[in-house]
Amino acid sequence: MATTRTKVFLIVITVASLGLGVVALATVNGLFQGAMKHRRAGVLVKQSNHAVEGKRWDEALRTASEAAELDPANALAWNNRGFAHSMLGDKDAALADYTRALELGPRLAIIWRNRGTLRRQRGELDAALTDFAHAIELEPRSVIAWNVRGLVKLDMKDVNGAIDDFTHAIELDGRNALHWQNRAWARQKAGDLDGALADRDRSVALAPRDPDPWNERGVLHEKREELELAFKDYDRAVALDPKRGQFWTNRGHIHQLRREIEEARHDLEKGLELDPKLVTAWYNLGALRDEEGNLRSAIAAYDAAIALDPQHALSFNNRGYAHLRLGELDATATDCARAIELAPKLYTAYETRGALAYRRGDPRAALADYDRALALSGTKRPYTFGLRARARADTGDREGAIADLEKFLELVPETPPNALERVRLARLKGG
């Protein structure tokens, strides 16, 4: 009996041991399969990295998605999938993927940077700023994080904060021309044109074969009214990349300012040939035709600019002035109203509306608009003084008219219209 019990006990133990062996084997197999999936997911993440480097966005999305499916806890798989979604234009899916990646890997600065960049693109600037703060806290020497956070601050009109961030990026990597370019933009917005020019000079020195620094320095020289220097920079940009319409347009504008009409026309038309959607090229071409007296053709160019950018106040104003000279007063009124609505500080729009009011026989309304134009322009518009003198004379303000004509002649003593103004002044003084 005891022997039988012992046998039964041994059988039970043997069966139990076999069961434990099966469980152990299943556990080992499960661990092995998990390890294989994890390893395969890692390979797929690397493949998605290579696809991103080659800008093969569909491949990057496919491989990252496969990695996330094999290993749902792989933060980098979700990050890469988010990046691919972003580059393919699906910003909502990208945001969801980055957010999931951060839940899995909150210590990975690259994910905070990527989500911050996406949020900037979506216009979610406060959230972007928060993401970049996390990225910089995790990786204080991340040049990319400092640079892009500077761009976010620039978007938020925190110019001084942007300058600080770009300066930090420069301190970390002073050989990258992009950081100097970005700080130049910020300094320019802050009104520090000398500092901006120093940064532009540095970016050109660091990247002499890149046309963008040349072009951007040209823009700054033009803003500083250094037309010869601006022309040289635009000319160099055209030479480095003759397929960029904006460079031709910018050089054409300098030709235009120098009264080199045929050269200006050539460059502006070349710019539009290369890029028909260049608003500034259409606007400048309209202004060129306008000066030549080709008013219908000018209006057509302004129409094209407005069709591309319905917020382009300058085109509305200039088109309105062309309509005025054609005697199309209602069209002038409509365009002036729109220009002022879009840009309440655009002094030329008040000049145009003042001319319209005078044309309609209302010198008092004209006088109010000329006052506003001169207040906005810093009283440096000689012809507006001449126009206001006429309105003042017609409203009985003889002394004011004399003062305006004298100011006009002081500002432009040698220009052809001054003879007429001198006659007007003599008549007013003669009583």
Residue 57 covered by a domain: no
Residues 6+ away with beta carbon under 8 Å from 131: 112, 113, 115, 116, 119
Residue 414 falls within a domain, yes or no? yes
- Establish if 406 belongs to a structural domain: yes
CB atoms under 10 Å from CB of 86, counted, come to 22
Task: Quote the mean pLDDT of the chain.
Answer: 89
Give the least confident one: 14-18, 311-315, 343-347: 14-18
Segments forming the whole domain that contains residue 391: 345-431
Q: What angle do CA 141, 175, 243 make, to 5 degrees?
A: 120
**What are 396's two structure tokens?**
């009985």
Question: Among residues 325, 330, 286, 291, which one has the least CA distance to residue 308?
Answer: 286
Task: Tell me the pLDDT band of 17, cut-offs 50, 70 and 90.
Answer: very low
Residue 139 lies in a domain: no
By CB neighbour count within 10 A (0-12 exposed, 13-18 middle, 19+ buried), where does 88 fall? middle
358-388, pLDDT tens digit by residue?
999 999 999 999 999 999 997 778 889 989 9
Q: How many domains does the chain have?
A: 1
Q: Which of 348, 345, 366 is nearest to 335 (CA)?
A: 348
Q: Answer yes or no: is 143 within a domain.
A: no
Digit-coded pLDDT (tens) for 33-84: 555 666 887 888 899 899 989 999 999 999 999 999 988 999 999 999 999 9
- The Cα–Cα gap between 426 and 418 comes to 12
Mean pLDDT of the region 126-149 = 97
**Could you read off the pLDDT of 262-282 as tens digits, one per residue?**
999 999 999 999 999 999 999
Q: Quickly count: other Cβ atoms within 10 Å of residue 222's Cβ.
A: 19
- 17 within some domain: no
Report the sign of the C-alpha dihedral through residues 415, 419, 424, 430, in that order: positive
- The CATH number for 403's domain is 1.25.40.10
In a domain, 309, yes or no: no
Question: Residue 110: its pLDDT value, please?
Answer: 96
Query: Rg for the chain (alpha carbons), in Å?
Result: 34
Instruction: Using CB atoms within 10 Å of the CB of residue 32, give its burial: 0 to 12 exposed, 13 to 18 middle, 19+ buried.
Output: exposed
Tokens describing residue 183: 């700080």
Q: What is the pLDDT of residue 280?
A: 97
Task: Return the pLDDT at 147.
Answer: 97
350 within 8 A of 370, measured Cβ to Cβ: yes
Residue 401 lies in a domain: yes
Helices then strands, counting H and E runs in the chain, come out as 23, 0
Looking at residues 243-271, what average pLDDT do you find? 97
What lies within 8 Å, CB to CB, of 70 at 6+ separation is 37, 38, 40, 41, 44
pLDDT attached to residue 43: 85
Q: Which comes out higher in pLDDT, residue 319 or 19?
A: 319
| For range 385-395, the mean pLDDT | 92
> pLDDT band at 409, cuts 50/70/90?
confident
Q: What's the rounded mean pLDDT across residues 280-302?
A: 96
Query: What is the C-alpha to C-alpha distance for residues 5 and 248, in angstroms, rounded to an integer?
Result: 102
* Pair 279, 305: CB distance under 8 Å: yes
pLDDT digits over 42-56, tens only?
A: 888 899 899 989 999
- Residue 350's pLDDT is 97
